[in-house]
Structure 1
Amino acid sequence: MTKQRLFYSPEENHIAIIYTEKFGQKRFKGFATEKEHIWLGPRRLTHRFVFKEINLGPRTAHILLSNVLTVDQVHLELELKVFYRVDPRDTAPENLIQVLKMPNAGFESIVRTNTEEKVRNEIFVQKTADKLFSYHGRRDLRKMLSNRISERVRGFGITVNPLFGAVILNMQPNAIYKQAMQEASAAKAQDLASIRRLAASLDAMPKLTSEQAEQILYLQMASAVNKTGNIPQAIYTQHNNESPAPTQGLPSVNANQPEGPQPKKVKPEHKYPIAAD
């Protein structure tokens, strides 16, 4: 539009905000659609002008949210889109002037702020992670989120489809939680493997004598000490009424005896006095 135009009509799928100016005071006059032509020529006391145009077409807010907490304390990462339209004619009267002077980025900011508020403080804090990740849970989540956002932003002339306006593109536990889950899964697998090995040993126990079972136990303990380097403080306690630990089949070791072949000790035939009486 140029200043020389006397009649004005906004572009297709746009709406114009018309203001009047009288004695230096600017006031909102009304809206103009593409089907209307507004006289912008000279008047006696007032002057009409186009304050701005607003696109009535669809818009999209791409939103990323981190550490969204569920009722069972699972931290989620969310990626979603909210589809909306802006029409200042649908604005609540108390918000009209604010909406008329709001930049285009302001409408997206309203959608983002209210989406995050509904996600963090109303919806996810009432749902478990298992429920949210199920098929019916994701379907219900989209409807609930769309409806809550639609109700909240309606007063600012923003329209969101109450059933399909919000779309969850990606939802998964954050990196720290996934690492903890992987470690827990690995520990569980190790426990199951240990149980299977122990079960096999227990199945063979009835076929062994007590001496054989104890010997196997000591061999297993020696193997564990060799692998880990951790030596137990005490592995056997002998009471007066109990027999000592079985040593049959195990090599005897003297801690004070040096390694390798030892020379034979010669026993003297006679005892000689150390000092004279």
Structure 2
Amino acid sequence: MLEDFGDEWVTKYMFHYRWHFKDDIEKAGTILPLLHGITLDDDSHAAFKQHISDWQTSRLWVVGSNEITAPIIEASFKRFLGQLNHCLSQHPFLFGSRPSSADYALFGQLSALVGFDPTSRALAHEISPRVIAWQDLMEDLSGLEPSESDWVNFEGAEQNLSSLFQEVGKVYLPALLANSLAVAQEEKTWTAEIDGAKWEQRSFPYQAKCLKWINDEFQALNESDQKQIKEFLTKTGCGELIAEK
């Protein structure tokens, strides 16, 4: 679930902060073309900068970013930084002393949010310098020799990750469920109340598949583990994630 949250919700933070704020648009528009071709002549660079900036800002709707949802995205990002700070104050990775797929999902988005884009990096520096340091450490984990004993037990994970799952239940789960229903009913858009405000966005079949895959993984667990996980999800506001059979 946290891997999916990183891929499908934290990416909203990333795209919003990069293409919503003037300083971030300026930096991304300037640097990204040069990553495609460091020898671009000045005229080509200026044209490429204008094109990519116009194109990406016009596509903020893809992640649901607009004047109504901007405060929701920004408030969620600030809470997320505090929640991740708590996790990293207990263990070097989300589930203990070795990285999981969820760590890499968050790292992928944070490499932009705190490694490149100025507005979101400044917020991270203010709220959680620990997250900036973690992103830098995740860049190179060579020499790390993980073992099965590096994972925390369920009780440790529950204590460490509860606040992060509460954020999932607060903002991502309503979007995931509304999108899945819209896809099933062949509706092109979905609407949900997220963090007390109306959110409307285009439906994406892939995200409906994500919800199915999460449920498939849950059903593959034994009965005892299912009971334990369901109790945790319910306590953190994520109980609706698992479809009743």
Q: Which has the higher contact order (CA 8 A, sep 6+)?
A: 2
Larger relative strand fraction: 1
Normalising by structure 1, we get a TM-score of: 0.16
Larger radius of gyration: 1
